[in-house]
Amino acid sequence: MGERSGEDGLLAQAEIAPLTGLAESLGIDRSRWIQVATEPLPETLRLTMHHYDIEWTRKQLIAMGATSLKWSIGNEAYQLPFARGQAPRDGTRELLALLHDTGRVTRQEAASMLPILVLDPQPNELLLDLCAAPGSKATHAAERMAPTGVVVANEPISGRVNMLASNRGRLSLHNVMITQHDGRHVGRIPKPGFDAIVADVPCTGSATSRKNKDVWWSWSPKGGRTMFQLQVDIASRGAQLLRPGGTMVYSTCSIDPVENEAVIAELIQKCPWMDVIEIDESNVDGLVWHQGLTAWSPLDEQGKASEPPQDVPFFDERYLPPSNDEILNALSKTRRLYPQDNNTGGFFVALLRHREDATPEGVAKTFIDKLAKRREQSGWESRLLEAPKPNRHTVHGATEEEAAVVMQQCRLDNADYSWWKRGKRMAIAPPLVYNRMWAQETPNKRGDRWPEGTFHPLQVLHVGLPAFVSKNGNWRARQESIPLL
């Protein structure tokens, strides 16, 4: 193993790394790959488009030497003239930190902005982010969907849930709900299901070499093969929860086709109601990227092509290119981004739609009860179940009287929110949360129903923005709610 310290050690390792073998197998020029993929990423960020002093913030960025990313919509994304995390100590570093901490900007790698630009979620929609932490994509979607659309940001790991909540508060976003589930087993919501889904799944990070130098030493081809089933399962759960006509974006920060095109090929065979659709490139006008692959070779642990696959651990035929022409055509609609194309990290993205004619019932596939007719013939009747007992940590709907007291004490007029309580805090969210997720029954897989007035079986930790806190019987606005209110 090469010496990890210093540029010479990095370049020496890049010359022999299996990761370079992967790049070569994809037709990427070896010397150009090593040159760019070992360089640090430039600092990039997104402007908070709803912030009241956005033009002042834009002027500060331009004064730092920032330039707008040519493919970003509405000049919302900027690249700074220094490497990621290397802002000069002439006041620039301090100002940049202040802009981020006060919610005026969000530091985010340019490539990771693509899923939301490709998905293009709309106001009044209900979006699920299956693997949301730390929250850059969830908050990106929430900003674009505000004030009426809602993002359900799901994260299984408790510590990362806290990061989600922190970023929601930093940006004063009231249209984010936070749930905690394994992405493969996210609970149902009422019919018809979600309008849009983000499946930015865990991956090996083979395209992150510019920000994560360790990948030059740690990545091996078997990594993608061990991630494949998890990625398929998460994306499949998203497909099951998506209403007919709804769209889902699948993405990774990997260039390994086993984690990308092979997953999409498996997904559309497992979920035949899902179609890969063409990406509207006007949403990323000026971006240089490549069609998805329709042919690739299995690699041995040294990153060398192995045909037929010999000495390839954890091998499965599903990791190979499909032979079906229809599936191959679908894969050509996916897109790949390489570091040398736009001075970014690498990325993969695919856009899929739940075909409406595949589900005439008009609801997400998770609601289709295959045993319903048999049950009806046996005289079975659907039961209304009893919701789990709430505790002091449970989020529940506030009464009209409670909301009226807060509005009166905090001098709010015509506040078009739904109101939620958790402990001594009162949160506000768009009415869509109440209308589509709280005030309707939710069928379970046996055909029985969870009652309205509960989020169950969805494990909801936070709803909207905790804008007010009660102290000695009086309500006051919390600091993070001030930009919104």
- Residues taking part in catalysis: 253
Q: How many CA atoms lie within 13 A of 403 on its CB side?
A: 16
Cα–Cα distance, 461 to 176 (Å, whole number): 11
Nearest CA among 254, 248, 171 for reference residue 206 = 254
Amino acid found at 468 = F
Nearest CA among 481, 418, 424, 480 for reference residue 455 = 418
Contact 172, 482 (CB under 8 A): yes
Cα–Cα distance, 127 to 241 (Å, whole number): 11
Cα–Cα distance, 368 to 238 (Å, whole number): 15
Contact 276, 352 (CB under 8 A): yes
Cα–Cα distance, 455 to 458 (Å, whole number): 5
Contact 43, 84 (CB under 8 A): yes
Dihedral over Cα of 245, 361, 243, 264: its sign: negative
Cα–Cα distance, 254 to 205 (Å, whole number): 5
Cα–Cα distance, 217 to 175 (Å, whole number): 41
Cα–Cα distance, 111 to 335 (Å, whole number): 12
Cα–Cα distance, 23 to 25 (Å, whole number): 5
Cα–Cα distance, 316 to 379 (Å, whole number): 45
Task: Give strand ranges (E) for 388-473.
Answer: 396-397, 418-422, 425-429, 442-443, 449-450, 460-463, 465-471
Contacts (Cβ under 8 Å, ≥6 apart) of 321: 257, 261, 262, 265, 293, 294, 295, 296, 328
Contact 216, 180 (CB under 8 A): no
Beta bridge partners of 350: 250
151 to 76, 123, 124, 179, 268: CA distances (angstroms): 20, 10, 10, 10, 25
339 to 27, 35, 254, 348: CA distances (angstroms): 14, 10, 11, 12
Amino acid found at 337 = L
